[in-house]
Amino acid sequence: MKHLFITVLLLLPLCHMLAQEREYVIVVHGGAGAMAGLENNQEKSALYYAALDSALSIGNAILSAGGEGPEAVMAVVNYFENNPLFNAGKGATCTSAGTFELDASIMEGKDLTAGAVAGLKTVKNPINAAYAVKNKTPHVMLAGEGADRFAKSQGLEIVDNMYFATPKTLKWIEDLKKESKKNGTVGCVVLDKQGNLTAGTSTGGMFKKQWGRVGDSPVIGAGTYADNEGCAVSCTGHGEYFIRHVVAYNLSTRVKLLHQPVGEAADYIIHQELNAKEGNGGLIAVDKKGNFAMPFNSGGMFRGYLYKEKGTGKISKAVGIGEKMKTL
């Protein structure tokens, strides 16, 4: 028994080292939905693979230099918001009135501080407004005209509402009866070198949504959540169901209190709690040990990960659309 006790003591530092193999981790998503066949379309899939790769590279440049999670998350989400391939910022889908209303949120796991905005109409990068709410006000969420006015007062870049349109969305506006499959969202979760977790999410919302509708993306605990003792989560999918199931908080709490592996907990929520036909979508998550998950129950999810191992300095990176991941 004495020898067993000594052996356990000797193994404890090794177990701790194994749990901290990853110096930092970044995981991104660009929305989930009906993407059947997109992987086989080399021209279109190449555009998304390249965009996901660029997003990971942007985050890696910050994290590798010792930058903190919020800086990396903001830079990555800004990139997605400025890329018309995705339903966030430029390229956002339109409401039933033919206008654009955008939502975003960000949260830090080290102190549970969070900021969110909903129904923005004139702020070029909604995630920047969410971050300003977190740092410059005593509140967590601002919405509608007040959120736009606050963002302007903070010196954030303001644009005309039609800035968010693309040739494709302009065509949708002309014929709102035409259904669209672009109901995605963008997000990023990070474990930085300091051991802190951060999550951020931004979206243009659901196609033809009723004006004023708010989905899960800006709702802390539903579409975004981060707790150093649990995990950082960013969701994408049918927001009403993610709100009802408090998905992001649900996942973090399972990791924190039930001590479930993040992958196991994420799979349970996405594949069992959410109905694949109604509550479809996916999420990305990372815990304080650098373990991450990217489950989805829809036809596909734009996603990618990058992490650096401690000691060897080896960087691993991959992106995906459907079931398969493409190593870069």
> Which DSSP helix (H) or strand (E) runs through 292?
strand 292-293
Map out the domains of the chain with their CATH numbers: 22-327 (3.60.20.30)
pLDDT for the residue numbered 17: 33
pLDDT for the residue numbered 94: 87
Residue 205 labelled as part of a binding site? no
Strand order of the β-sheet with 224-226 is 224-226, 231-237, 281-287, 292-293
Residue 239 labelled as part of a binding site? yes
pLDDT for the residue numbered 210: 85
Residue 238 labelled as part of a binding site? yes
How far, in Å, are 76, 106, 118, 130, 173 from residue 113 at the CA level? 20, 9, 17, 11, 37
pLDDT for the residue numbered 3: 44
Residue 236 labelled as part of a binding site? yes
Tokens of 307: 């992490």
In DSSP notation, 231-289 reads: EEEEEEE-HHHHHHTTHHHHHHHHHHHS---HHHHHHHIIIIIS-TTTS-EEEEEEETT
Identify the active-site residue in 93, 95, 169, 185.
185
The tokens 């555009």 sit on which residue? Answer: 47
pLDDT for the residue numbered 182: 52
pLDDT (tens place) for every residue of the chain, 328 residues total: 444 333 333 333 333 333 447 999 999 999 998 887 788 889 999 999 999 999 999 999 999 999 999 999 999 999 999 999 999 999 998 888 889 999 999 999 999 999 999 999 999 999 999 999 999 999 999 999 999 999 999 999 999 999 999 888 787 677 654 544 455 799 999 999 999 999 999 999 888 888 889 999 999 999 999 999 999 999 999 999 999 999 999 999 999 999 999 999 999 999 999 976 678 999 999 999 999 999 999 999 999 999 999 989 999 999 999 998 999 9
Contact between 73 and 106 under an 8 Å Cβ cutoff? The reply is yes
CA distance 205 to 217: 8
166 is catalytic: no
Prediction pTM value: 0.91
How far, in Å, are 3, 18, 105, 269, 305 from residue 12 at the CA level? 14, 10, 38, 31, 29
Residue 216 labelled as part of a binding site? yes
How far, in Å, are 81, 124, 295, 305 from residue 264 at the CA level? 30, 37, 10, 18
Residue 69 labelled as part of a binding site? no
Tokens of 39: 């992987």
Residue 115 labelled as part of a binding site? no
Question: What are the helix (H) ranges across 29-113?
Answer: 42-64, 69-81
Residue 213 labelled as part of a binding site? yes
pLDDT for the residue numbered 279: 83
